[in-house]
Amino acid sequence: MTFNRQPHNNGYPQQSYNTNEPFQQPYVVNNDGTAAIPTQTTYAYEHAERVSMTRAYGEMALGLIVTALVAYVTFTSGLLERFVLATGSIGWIGLCVAQVVFALALSTRVMKMKTSTGRFMFYAYAALMGFTLSSLFASYSISVLLVALLTCAGFFFTLTMLGLTTKKNLLGWGSIFFAALLALVIVQVVLLFVAPSNTTMKVIAALGIALFAGLTMYDAQQTRALFANYQSQGTEVIERISILCALNLYLDFVNMFLYIVQLFGSRD
């Protein structure tokens, strides 16, 4: 199961990511003729970057909390069971379609929305995802899901740090990652009908984890690059970028979590 990753043309202009461009300042020349480092400007840039990155990851974390709470409440209240009994397969298909529409609308229109509208749509999408993922409680024990969640969180944090500290520039790999994701989805759907064995699904899960590991590092770098390019354009733009980046990071986390559950979890 892979949820609604979209190519990264999300309503903002495509441009080269020169992370220093918004903050270029002339050098100060010392008395001996050497160039002094503009430390005040450098500190302001680094502080702004940290605040912006924290904002994006904070939005993502809140989205995950909303998803987890809605999933748990939906399952324990029996709401999902009543929904399925009332609507059947049509209702389940409708949920999937609604998720795709939400993700497309948010990722392509967020830069033109009011910040409050974009944030509301993000958390509404997270709640809708929670409603759908509540079905996991029917297949796996809470202990299995908790272990998978903690494993995913540790893996995600490590990959984020690696993406932000490595000298390897992944920003040119967006089209490669998207093509790989599309191929994975097609193969997964085909195999569900052709060879729906447990071994086949675990191989797909392993490939999915590897792919979203790469996407997590890619999105970490892209988040930093976007903030660097738009930092000088005001708070409103930065908040919209935060929502957009939070959505991408959220989808990385959720899909990686699902593949970890599928690979290592045993069904009840």
How confident is the model over 156-214, as pLDDT tens digits? 999 999 999 998 899 989 889 999 999 998 988 888 777 677 788 888 999 999 999 99
The half-sphere exposure of 120 on its side-chain side, counting CA atoms within 13 A, is 5
- How confident is the model at residue 268, as a pLDDT? 55
Write the CA distances from 29 to 36, 37, 58, integer angstroms: 6, 9, 40
Residue 197 has what pLDDT? 75
CA atoms of 145 and 184, how far apart (whole Å): 23
Provide the pLDDT for residue 254: 96
| Amino acid in position 152 | C
Number of domains in the chain: 1
Tell me the residue ranges of DSSP E strands in the chain. 28-29, 35-36
Note whether residue 191 is domain-resident: yes
pLDDT < 50 positions in the chain:
7-29, 35, 37, 41-45
Q: How far is 264 from 206, CA to CA, in rounded Å? A: 10
pLDDT of residue 119: 92
Helix (H, G, I), strand (E, B) or coil at 79: helix
Tokens read off for 127: 């709640």
The pLDDT of residue 74 is 93
Residue 7 lies in a domain: no
φ/ψ of 77, rounded to 5, equals -85, -10
Residue 12 within any structural domain of the chain: no
122 contacts: CB under 8 Å, gap ≥ 6: 59, 63, 106, 243, 246, 247, 250
108 within domain boundaries: yes
Which tokens go with 123?
A: 């958390």
203 lies in a domain?
yes
Given this model, what pLDDT does residue 176 score? 92
Domain hosting 227: range is 21-264
Residue 137 within any structural domain of the chain: yes
What confidence score (pLDDT) does residue 29 get?
47
State whether the Cα torsion 109-12-227-29 is positive or negative. Answer: negative
Asked if residue 174 belongs to a domain, the reply is yes
What confidence score (pLDDT) does residue 72 get? 93
Which single residue is written with the structure tokens 């609308």?
105
Q: Which residue has the tokens 């010392």?
A: 30
Establish if 1 belongs to a structural domain: no
CB 138 within 8 A of CB 75: yes
Residue 31's pLDDT is 52
Predicted confidence at residue 3, as pLDDT, reads: 61
The 10s digit of each residue's pLDDT in 232-248 is 777 888 888 999 999 99
